[in-house]
Structure 1
Amino acid sequence: MAEAILSQISGDFLECTICMEPFKDPKILPCLHTFCTDCLEKFVRKQGDGNDKFPCPTCRTETELPGGGVAGLKNNFFVLSLRDTVDTHKSLVSKEDDKVPCDNCEVNVASHGCVLCEEFLCDECARVHRRAKRTRDHEVIGVVELKELLLTKPPSVKSTPLPLCPKHEDEKLKFYCETCKHPICRDCTVLQHKDHGYSYMADVASDVRAELKGKLEFAMPRVEQYRQFAGVVNEKQEELDTMSEKAADDIDAAAEEEIKYYNGLVRRKQTELKEKLASITATRSKQLSVTADSVESTLGCLSSTVDFSQKVVQHGSDFDVMNVYSDVTARLESLLKGPNPDIPEDIGYVRFDQRKKRKETEIVLGDFVEFGDLMPP
């Protein structure tokens, strides 16, 4: 089960798409895409000086730079915690049973392990663990048994200490300002946010987590719907290409028959008809391309938003959930209210018809009909 869950967390989710390396000081944008601080700063500089907005490097959504520039954007603590969990699990799998280091002293090889603390302990640290008042009631088992237990249980992001407030030294972000929609510390509640509504983060996190799960239930069908839209656009493009190719073959066949008698004139008419066909095909193909870009863009935004939100809800700490709650909600509401793409039913229909009795040819594409005569006057 653990391997199955970890397989859902791809390396791409834990790597910056600009530098293609593990995140360093990751910042999360309102569109929920994450990048290294240095990578974002370089990207913003390339957009030119004096701009207070910049497009997301992935989805091109406009993002306003807060005070302090890129450094003022929200930190994505969740991906770092998730990466540590994944690395810990991989490290555990790779280590032999008799070479697991003690998590306490970090010097000796572990021979025991605490089930509650999920820590490996050497003989000496295990004895201390059993005697200490805080841990004397913990269950201590063999290193092999604990390793097997940790590898078979579903992995979760370890509870990490709450981050410190960037404005007030040594104060942890343990409150959530319901007015500003982001975590704050105790000093913030009596200074910058004194007239705001706020709560302990632990008291509201479960409700917010449930709310996000509800929003995801509505978003998931939308993702599938856009996957279907993308499939329809691809099918229409294939239909257009196939019928266009057949029409071109038909033009060639008809032209070759007439060329036997009117070589020069028919050749020129053949080229003219194929140019008309190519122009019509290119116009409609361009329409499909624009629609395809729109569908792919919306699908990418929906998929990445849902993927990120699911991982935060399933694996994130209370702080992680509360830290991105307002951004996730705003992003989902923005994406879900967008209109469906307009894909004309007949845009892929094209054919060539050589009317021998009237000595005329016909190119038909939707409601557009162009007549051309392969026979000279």
Structure 2
Amino acid sequence: MANNAPTFIKDISTCAICLDYYKDPRLLPCSHTYCYNCINQLTKSNQFTCPLNDGTIINAEGISKLPMNRTAKDMAEFLSSITQDYTSLKCGNCATNKCTYWCEKCDSYLCVTCSDNIHSQKILQNHAVVPSNQKPSSNICSDHPDEKLKLWCVTCEILVCRDCLLFKHKDHVYTSLQDIAQETKLKIKLSLQPIRENLEKTASKIHSIIEEQHQHYEATTLEIDETFQQLYTSLESRKIKLMEQLNEYRGKEKSLLERYQADINEQLKAIQAREALVQQIFNNNDSIQIMKMRKTLVDYDQTIDQQYHRIEQGCTFSKAGFNIGIDLKRIIDEYGTLKTEDIMLNPNGVQPKRNYISLNLSRPSVKNSTYQYEAQRGRGYLFQMQKPLKIRSVQLEASIHGQIAVYVVNNTGSVIKKESFISNDTTMKWTTIPIITELNTGYSILVWSPNTTGQFSYQEGDNNFRTVDQVCSIESKHADINHDLSIGEQLQLSLNSYSIRMIIDIEQ
């Protein structure tokens, strides 16, 4: 394997078993990735155990069904292409010495001697000579071999030449290769910055919380020890049982926090590797290569964004405290209990965990259907309630690849809250979009997507209000939406003859 790739890039492109770039990488349920052949070679007794000792076990018959990690595959293939071994190539002029340079004008690999001799002539001194491993990607149009790829078709999202614009891509929107490459560089470079900053902040918080947890459990241990010293003889067995229970809580919650921290560190590592990869691509100053890798990089950003949303949901851990019974003589055999408090930790901070319930707005006992999504229309529900509801998220059953937006509209038709989510899956499934706001009577929730390739699940119905529970009734609504709305924009809601499948998560 080549050794000139940055460490972060090699880490996400290298199999931990064979220590080489991935070949047919397969993704395990534990999120670790290995080469397909490596997994088979380590399978023993019809089972494969993850080498990283996380407890994941795959039966032999399930190995072939493991999904391919396409991001890892694309990264490995890209690194293999840019770390090609040029030491075995001979000079295209003398055919004797090993090549050192590539000259685009000469269209040849050259050794040092031949390159100096050829380009010593004044008329050839303006040739662009680069090291062999920095040879630019081919910029010849496959449809028009006499033309170079110098333009980007915005409509079709592919590289084109001037002749392409006269025929196959006539009347399409286009821009120059340099402009779109520069725009892509900037977009990719800035896309992960907010997530990275939040993850770094959260990682710092977790370190402090783990220390606080340690001190808390140390203090609780001391409290238990001092209490039981006074009743040592009669309560020794009970003391041991409580200490075992406390240590179990400590180990479990510390492990939970450390796993959460490990998840964040892994994503930070992936982001750093991704940034290093992007920087290496940019350093090559190869616009063709940038655009060829564009989809892979953008898809990888979306994958990281999805993983970040999972981390953003936080982890719940407990604090176990010692509680002394009231009548010690009467309850001596059951003396002392451990009181726990559930706490939510996420990138927004630490707070007591609240209980939530899910309110299914879908029509019961009605057959589901699917409908092609309309980019010009948002759909949802108008609410009539006896008391306000505090919502935490909206779930939508859909198969949309791309942006999904949720808007909360007040009783005057003004958008007062919005959240967006990037879906990276085209399968029909429930997608959760976090949105925290208070829902009052007369308010509406609408979902919208600019993508027309997906579908959503709906049920036939009518325009009447229907009761969801004892405090909430809803009416199906839709509104014309032709762009991503901003806070304060006005909407005209109309009656809708069918109901989309939606669930809202609310605080109890």
TM-score by length of 1: 0.54
Aligned: 1:254 with 2:227: yes
Match of 1:366 among 308, 316, 341: 341
Verify the 8 A CA contact 2:139 2:148 in the aligned structure 1: yes
| Stretch of structure 1 that moved more, 39-48 or 216-225 | 39-48
Which of the residues 69, 72, 78 maps onto 1:56? 69
Q: Distance in 2 between matches of 1:23 and 1:250?
A: 53
1:267 and 2:267 aligned = no
After superposition, what is the alpha-carbon deviation per residue over 1:206-238, rounded to whole angstroms, capped at 9, x for unaligned? 323333314422422421321221232233233
1:13 equivalent in structure 2: 10
Instruction: Answer yes or no: is 1:160 the counterpart of 2:173.
Output: no
CA contact (8 A) 2:12 2:273 kept: no
Cα distance in 1 for residues equivalent to 2:127 and 2:212: 67
The structure, 1 or 2, with the larger RCO (C-alpha pairs under 8 Å, 6+ apart) is 1
Over the residues paired in the alignment, what is the CA RMSD in angstroms? 5.8
Q: Hey, what does 1:83 align to over in structure 2?
A: 83
Q: Check 1:134–1:353 CA distance in 2 against 1; reply closer, same or farther (3 A cut).
A: same
8 Å contact 1:352–1:364 — kept in the other structure?
yes
**Alpha-carbon offset, residue 269 of structure 1:** 1.3
Aligned residue for 1:329? Answer: 298
AA partner of residue 239 (structure 2): Q
Structure 1 residues 14, 205: closer, same or farther in 2, change over 3 A?
farther
Which of 253, 270, 275 lines up with 1:306 in the alignment? 275
- For 1:1-377, list aligned pairs within 5 A: 9-10=6-7, 13=10, 16-18=13-15, 19-21=18-20, 39=35, 48-49=63-64, 54-56=67-69, 78-80=78-80, 82-83=82-83, 105=94, 107=96, 121-122=112-113, 126-131=116-121, 134-135=123-124, 158-162=134-138, 174=149, 178-179=154-155, 181-182=157-158, 197=172, 203-259=176-232, 263=233, 265-282=234-251, 284-285=253-254, 287-289=256-258, 291-292=260-261, 294-333=263-302, 335-336=304-305, 338-339=308-309, 341=312, 350-352=320-322, 361=336, 363-366=338-341
Higher helix share: 1
Instruction: Name stretches of at least 5 consecutive residues in structure 2 with no aligned partner.
Output: 28-32, 41-59, 330-334, 344-508
CA displacement, residues 315-350 of structure 1 (integer Å, 9 cap, x when unaligned): 3511211012133234335544754635589x5755
Give the conservation status (yes or no) of the 8 Å contact 2:137–2:288. Answer: no
| 1:304 positional shift | 3.5
- Measured in 2, the distance between the counterparts of 1:21 and 1:242 equals 43
CA contact (8 A) 2:220 2:322 kept: yes
Unaligned runs of 5+ in 1: 1-5, 30-34, 60-72, 92-100, 141-149, 369-377
**Cα separation, 2, equivalents of 1:76 and 1:171:** 32
Q: How far, CA to CA, are the matches of 1:288 and 1:11 in structure 2? A: 24
CA–CA separation in structure 1 for the residues paired with 2:182 and 2:221: 57
Q: What's 1:97 paired with?
A: none
- Give the Cα–Cα distance (whole angstroms) in 1 for the partners of residues 71 and 227 of structure 2: 49
DSSP 3-state at the match of 1:54: coil
| Counterpart for residue 363 of structure 2 | none
Compared CA separation, residues 40 and 135, structure 1 to 2 (3 A): farther
Q: How many residues align?
A: 301
CA distance in 1, matches of 2:11, 2:93: 28
Q: For 1:10 and 1:334, how far apart are their aligned partners in 2?
A: 21
1:270 is displaced (CA, Å) by 0.2
Distance change (3 Å), C-alpha of 1:317 and 1:284: same
Contact 2:220/2:321 (<8 A) preserved: yes
1:190 to 1:282, Cα distance in 2 relative to 1, 3 A: farther
* C-alpha distance 57-276 of structure 1, shift in aligned 2 (>3 A): farther
Distance 1:216 1:194, change over 3 A: closer
